[in-house]
Amino acid sequence: MKTIFDKETRDGLITRINLINENSQPQWGKMNVYQMLKHCTLSDEMYLGITVYKRSFIGRLFGKVALKSMIKDDSPVAKNSPTVPQCKVTETGGDVEAQKKRWIKLVEEYGKTSKTDFEHTFFGEMTREQMGQLAYKHVDHHLRQFSN
């Protein structure tokens, strides 16, 4: 299964991110391109432990089961999947190029981190392997959303 900790996989994701521009349109969902970029930046900051959020109650109940279902195979994340409230973006505009650069920097950070334990606000404690797979699937999901 693909993982964001693999350099070749990261490089492929970065190539796809670089194809996004301010005219990119979603194939599904409500986010515009800036909102998607910002959402992914916020998510990767959480995944990497740069920003820490309190574990959600509903996540405590269902997070582990949902995680197993999400990373059980190579299938992409379903369209219109729910997101954690902390990573929802309501602002409608911003600097797309600056946000892309920030996101790429965070994707590159996965290659530098030696972190082995991760905490997700919904899924809870995760191994490095689980986080690598989830982070890859999340990035891939949003790049597919914008046809990349």
Tell me if 34 is assigned to some domain.
yes
Q: pTM value?
A: 0.94
- pLDDT score of 148 more than 80: no
Tell me if 2 is assigned to some domain.
no
Tell me if 31 is assigned to some domain.
yes
pLDDT in tens, 91-100: 988 899 999 9
* Residue 28 DSSP class: S
DSSP H helical segments within 1-148, as ranges? Answer: 7-18, 33-47, 57-70, 96-109, 128-145
Tell me if 79 is assigned to some domain.
yes
Nearest to 137 by CA among 96, 82, 78, 85: 78
Per-residue pLDDT at 46: 93
Number of domains in the chain: 1
What 3-state class would DSSP assign to 85?
helix
Task: Kindly report the CATH number assigned to the domain that includes residue 135.
Answer: 1.20.120
Tell me if 1 is assigned to some domain.
no
- Residue carrying the six token digits 């920097």: 105
How many angstroms separate the CA atoms of 103 and 100, rounded?
5
Tell me if 101 is assigned to some domain.
yes
How many angstroms separate the CA atoms of 103 and 6, rounded?
17
Distances (CA, A) of 132 to 16, 51, 86, 107, 136: 18, 17, 20, 11, 6
Tell me if 46 is assigned to some domain.
yes
| Phi-psi map region of 49: left, alpha, beta (phi>0 left; psi -120 to 50 alpha) | left
Which residue range forms the structural domain that includes residue 98?
7-145
* Residue 25 DSSP class: -
Tell me if 98 is assigned to some domain.
yes
| Six token digits for residue 75 | 């299938």
pLDDT in tens, 6-33: 999 999 999 999 999 999 999 999 999 9
